């Protein structure tokens, strides 16, 4: 497995990281089984993945519990990334729960203590703010509180998710930021405009998420709009409905043909393309089953073996997508 260093840290991470949102079992349909999830995580480990990304939000802590069970003593040889700052309202049982970002210092501390317990670890390698505060806590206060958690040895490095370039610059005025997590895929490229250049300029690593576009780019859905149960967030995701979906499906078919020429699954080509973007340190993928993990890890073959000419062709295919 290829590894890269998060700039300014002692953390080497696998270029492909396992994302634990789906294995949390909430908002990803009715086919998430803990046994399959554990096998998927073990397959990732066996394939050389050393970056695992989770969050208190994912299954309201269930993803953390599954991750800790699946890793066991192998926790010592991986980089555990999790998040802070989300609180829940409503009712998870009826699916009417909603989450909002509360970055008050006491909230952050409580999140970290609970995460350490669920993850069965003494220290979080990378603690990321899940998204910007919705309750008015100044970023300076948040960064100070995160710095204190670092000083106490509960956290090794601080990261941000879903901040724009201006938010990142403001955060850096108050303390080091090791990584910024942002959506990036062949179907969603806004981060390339200002965020990735800002991260490179300021020596901040980039962890890309949703590189598979929630499964859309894998080609598994075909040309007919997929039906998802209400328990699957993709039932309410505009990219899976209407004329945008029809255009995306045609594009995905082209993309799959390019992947076939390289002898890899479309998911692998999609992950490799993201991992190859300048400034990207690691690319996350979600997976519910070991077979998906194995397909996704074939991205390494592209990253190691594609010639300059092949990359020109891959980039040309990526450039053909004009947006939803």
Ligand X SMILES: NC(=O)c1ccc[n+]([C@@H]2O[C@H](COP(=O)([O-])OP(=O)(O)OC[C@H]3O[C@@H](n4cnc5c(N)ncnc54)[C@H](OP(=O)(O)O)[C@@H]3O)[C@@H](O)[C@H]2O)c1
State the catalytic residues: 58
The token pair at 134 is 């919705």
Residue 212 interacting with ligand X (CB under 6 A): yes
User: Total residues at the site for ligand X (CB under 6 A)?
Assistant: 31
Residue 288 interacting with ligand X (CB under 6 A): yes
Residue 300 interacting with ligand X (CB under 6 A): no
User: Rounded to an integer, what distance in angstroms lies between the CA atom of residue 117 and that of residue 11?
Assistant: 22
**Contact pick of 50, 218, 281, 300 for ligand X (by CB under 6 A):** 218
**Contact pick of 27, 209, 240, 321 for ligand X (by CB under 6 A):** 209
Give the contact letters, 239-278, x = binds to ligand X (CB under 6 A), - = no.
--------------------------x-x-----------
Structure-token match 């397959």, residue found: 43
User: Rounded to an integer, what distance in angstroms lies between the CA atom of residue 95 and that of residue 89?
Assistant: 11
**Contact pick of 6, 284, 303, 306 for ligand X (by CB under 6 A):** 284
CB contact at 8 A, 103 and 135: yes
Residue 74 C-beta: closest distance to ligand X, Å: 18
- Point out which span in 3-11, 21-29, 139-147, 168-176 binds ligand X (CB under 6 A): 21-29
Residue 19 interacting with ligand X (CB under 6 A): yes
Q: Which long-range contacts (CB under 8 A, 24 or more apart) does 155-158 make?
A: 155/112, 155/123, 155/124, 155/127, 156/9, 156/11, 156/123, 156/124, 156/125, 156/126, 157/6, 157/9, 157/11, 157/125, 157/126, 157/127, 158/126, 158/127, 158/128, 158/129
User: Rounded to an integer, what distance in angstroms lies between the CA atom of residue 256 and that of residue 71?
Assistant: 33
**Contact pick of 281, 286, 298, 300 for ligand X (by CB under 6 A):** 286
Give the contact letters, 151-180, x = binds to ligand X (CB under 6 A), - = no.
----------xx------------------
Residue 212 C-beta: closest distance to ligand X, Å: 3
Judged by beta carbon, residue 45 or residue 307, the one nearer ligand X is: 45
Residue 285 interacting with ligand X (CB under 6 A): yes
Judged by beta carbon, residue 21 or residue 245, the one nearer ligand X is: 21
Contact residues for ligand X, defined by CB under 6 A: 19-22, 28-29, 53, 130-131, 161-162, 181, 209-215, 218, 220, 265, 267, 284-288, 292, 295-296
């Amino acid at each position: 497995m290829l590894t890269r260093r998060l700039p300014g840290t002692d953390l080497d991470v696998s270029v492909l990281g396992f994302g634990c949102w789906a294995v949390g079992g909430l908002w990803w349909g009715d086919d998430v089984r803990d046994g399959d999830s554990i096998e998927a995580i073990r397959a990732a480990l066996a394939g050389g993945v050393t970056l695992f990304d989770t969050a208190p939000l994912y299954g309201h802590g269930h993803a953390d519990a599954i991750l800790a069970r699946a890793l066991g003593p192998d926790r010592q040889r991986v980089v555990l990334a999790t998040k802070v700052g989300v609180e829940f309202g409503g009712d998870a049982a009826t699916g009417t729960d909603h989450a909002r970002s509360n970055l008050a210092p006491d909230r952050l501390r409580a999140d970290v203590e609970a995460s350490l317990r669920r993850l069965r670890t003494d220290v979080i390698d990378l603690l990321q703010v899940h998204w910007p505060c919705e309750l008015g806590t100044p970023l300076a206060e948040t960064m100070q509180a995160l710095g204190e958690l670092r000083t106490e040895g509960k956290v090794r490095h601080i990261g941000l998710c879903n901040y724009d370039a201006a938010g990142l610059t403001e955060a850096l005025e108050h303390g080091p930021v090791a990584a910024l997590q942002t959506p990036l895929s062949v179907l969603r490229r806004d981060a390339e405009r200002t965020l990735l250049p800002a991260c490179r300029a300021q020596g901040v690593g980039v962890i890309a998420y949703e590189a598979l576009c929630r499964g859309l780019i894998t080609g598994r859905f075909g040309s007919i709009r997929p039906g998802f149960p209400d328990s699957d967030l993709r039932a309410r995701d505009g990219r899976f409905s209407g004329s945008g979906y029809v255009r995306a499906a045609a594009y995905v078919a082209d993309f799959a043909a390019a992947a076939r020429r390289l002898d890899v699954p479309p998911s692998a080509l999609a992950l490799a393309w993201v991992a190859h973007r300048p400034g990207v340190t690691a690319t996350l993928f979600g997976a519910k089953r070991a077979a998906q993990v194995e397909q996704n890890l074939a991205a390494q073959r592209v990253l190691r073996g594609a010639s300059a000419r092949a990359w020109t062709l891959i980039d040309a295919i990526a450039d053909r997508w004009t947006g939803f």
